Every structure is written in structure tokens, then in C-alpha cells.
Amino acid sequence: MILILGHKFFDTYIYIYLYNIIFKLYTYNINFKLNKLSFM
């Protein structure tokens, strides 16, 4: 039972970690595009 809960928690942690990275890349991309537009 503890192993199953630990595995679930670990999967959730990886999911949150990946989501965080994707969100940062996404926001970075938007900021980069906005900066490009403001320079033009």
C-alpha cells in the first residue's frame, strides 16, 4: 500500500515538474515574441 502511494506521489511530482518546465518555456516564448514586436 505504501509503495503504491509512493509511486502515485512520484508520478504526480514528475507531472507537475514537466508542466512547470513547459509553462516556463511557453511564457518565455511569448515574452520573446513580444520583445521582437516592440523592437520592430
Q: Which three cell numbers stand for residue 14?
A: 514528475
Residue 27: domain span: 1-35
Predicted local confidence at residue 20, as pLDDT: 94
Number of domains in the chain: 1
Predicted local confidence at residue 38, as pLDDT: 76
Predicted local confidence at residue 1, as pLDDT: 53
Domain assignment present for 40: no
Domain assignment present for 2: yes
Please tell me the distance from the alpha carbon of residue 10 to that of residue 22, in angstroms, as a whole number.
18
Q: What is the pLDDT along the chain (40 residues), one digit of tens a residue?
A: 566 667 787 888 889 999 999 999 999 988 888 888 776 6
Domain assignment present for 21: yes
Domain assignment present for 5: yes
Domain assignment present for 4: yes
Nearest to 33 by CA among 6, 23, 25, 9: 25
